[in-house]
């Protein structure tokens, strides 16, 4: 039994190819929506109980963790819906791959076995989409917080470049260097997308391959320690992804480099 790099298509609907990893992603999405709706309509004022108590504890834990990064409770509350949703979505997708039947229940397509379920985060298409979505959101938060011009000035530093023409050769050289650094920052944003997506994909896909090999060697007892390890890896990867996004959000909503220095110089 082998694990193909790309998710296997299992059906076609209205021109859309449905893969086995998409089914896992839909299962997690529907589950999270149902849980959120249940908490929203069943929650009561006063001391929380049951599932509401668990969710409130999770939210409070993430708020305190976010405060250590943002050092600002207002920004922590602003970022929490995105960061916590990413964490839960990735974590459940990682763990869903360890449930019995994932990767083992399917159908034969000629001589190839096609599983009906496959961990969604072992599909590079999904992890790339998550990485791109996360970075785009950081820029949207940056624009909303700082304004279009101040946020854009972090990358395309046209203002300092134009100002440098009146500051002589040294000032002009500084302006050109700052403009070049801004272009490098733009490349760095693309690198963040690749880094987020490949880190998550690589770890989960490697775990899927490992579990497939272990189960093919021994179906009982032997794979259990490796399954426990994969649960831990799934938790770590979800945490790393969401915390990196939180850091990127915090950096995106900080004022541009040198702005405080410029304001101080203007006051003097």
Q: Encode 89-158 in three state secondary structure.
A: HHHHHHHHCCCCCCCCCEEEECCEEEECCCCHHHCHHHHHHHHHHHHHHHHHHHHHHHCHHHHHCCCCCH
Assess if residue 189 is contained within a domain.
yes
Distances (CA, A) of 233 to 95, 164, 208: 9, 50, 11
Query: In the prediction, which pLDDT does 138 show?
Result: 94
Contact status, residue 120 vs residue 22, Cβ threshold 8 Å: yes
Assess if residue 159 is contained within a domain.
yes
pLDDT digits (tens, 9 = 90+) for 181-231: 667 777 888 889 999 999 999 888 887 777 767 766 666 666 677 778 888
Assess if residue 140 is contained within a domain.
yes
Has residue 237 got a pLDDT over 60? yes
245-262 mean pLDDT:
77
Distance CA 110, CA 262 (A): 69
Tally the C-alpha atoms within 13 A of residue 250's C-alpha that lie toward its C-beta: 19
Assess if residue 95 is contained within a domain.
yes
Query: In the prediction, which pLDDT does 131 show?
Result: 94
Helix (H/G/I), strand (E/B), else coil: 12 = strand
Distance CA 102, CA 187 (A): 38
Assess if residue 4 is contained within a domain.
no
Query: In the prediction, which pLDDT does 210 show?
Result: 74
Contact status, residue 230 vs residue 206, Cβ threshold 8 Å: no
* One-character DSSP codes across 157-205: -HHHHHHHTTSHHHHHHHHHHHHHHHHHHHHHHHHHHHHHHHHHHHHHH
Number of folded domains that form the chain: 1
Q: For residues 235 and 175, which has the higher predicted lDDT (pLDDT)?
A: 235
Residue 43: band (very low, low, confident or very high) from pLDDT cuts 50, 70, 90: confident
Assess if residue 3 is contained within a domain.
no
Helix, strand and coil percent figures for the chain, each rounded to 5? 75, 5, 20
Assess if residue 233 is contained within a domain.
yes
Helix (H/G/I), strand (E/B), else coil: 30 = helix
For 115, list phi and psi in degrees, rounded to 5: -70, 145
Query: In the prediction, which pLDDT does 217 show?
Result: 67
Instruction: Give the structural domain span for 150.
Output: 9-267
Q: For residues 14 and 181, which has the higher predicted lDDT (pLDDT)?
A: 14
Distance CA 23, CA 13 (A): 13
Assess if residue 85 is contained within a domain.
yes
Residue 86: band (very low, low, confident or very high) from pLDDT cuts 50, 70, 90: very high
Highest averaged pLDDT of the listed ranges 11-15, 27-31, 205-209: 27-31
The helix/strand count (H/E) of the chain reads as 9, 4
Q: For residues 88 and 116, which has the higher predicted lDDT (pLDDT)?
A: 88
Query: In the prediction, which pLDDT does 246 show?
Result: 95
**In the block, residue with structure tokens 């970075």:** 135
């Amino acid at each position: 039994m082998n694990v193909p790099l790309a998710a296997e298509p299992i059906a076609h609907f209205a021109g859309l190819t449905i893969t086995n990893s998409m089914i896992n992603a839909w299962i997690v999405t529907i589950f999270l929506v149902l849980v959120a709706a249940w908490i929203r309509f069943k929650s009561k004022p006063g001391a929380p109980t049951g599932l509401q108590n668990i969710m409130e504890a999770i939210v409070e834990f993430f708020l305190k963790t976010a405060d250590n990064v943002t050092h600002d409770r207002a920004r922590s509350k602003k970022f929490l819906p995105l960061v916590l949703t990413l964490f839960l979505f990735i974590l459940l997708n990682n763990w869903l791959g360890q449930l019995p039947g994932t990767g083992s229940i399917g159908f034969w397509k000629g001589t190839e076995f096609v599983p009906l379920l496959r961990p969604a985060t072992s599909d590079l298409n999904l992890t790339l989409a998550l990485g791109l979505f996360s970075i785009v959101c950081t820029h949207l938060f940056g624009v909303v917080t700082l304004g279009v011009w101040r946020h854009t000035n972090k990358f395309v530093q046209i203002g300092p470049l134009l100002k440098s023409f009146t500051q002589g050769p040294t000032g002009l050289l500084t302006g050109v260097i700052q403009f070049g650094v801004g272009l490098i920052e733009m490349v760095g944003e693309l690198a963040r997308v690749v880094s987020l997506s490949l880190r998550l994909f690589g770890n989960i896909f490697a775990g899927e391959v490992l579990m497939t090999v272990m189960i093919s060697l021994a179906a009982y007892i032997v794979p259990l320690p490796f399954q426990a390890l994969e649960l831990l890896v799934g938790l770590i990867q979800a945490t790393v992804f969401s915390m990196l996004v939180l850091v990127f959000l915090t950096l995106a909503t900080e004022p541009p480099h040198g702005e405080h220095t410029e304001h101080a110089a203007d006051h003097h």
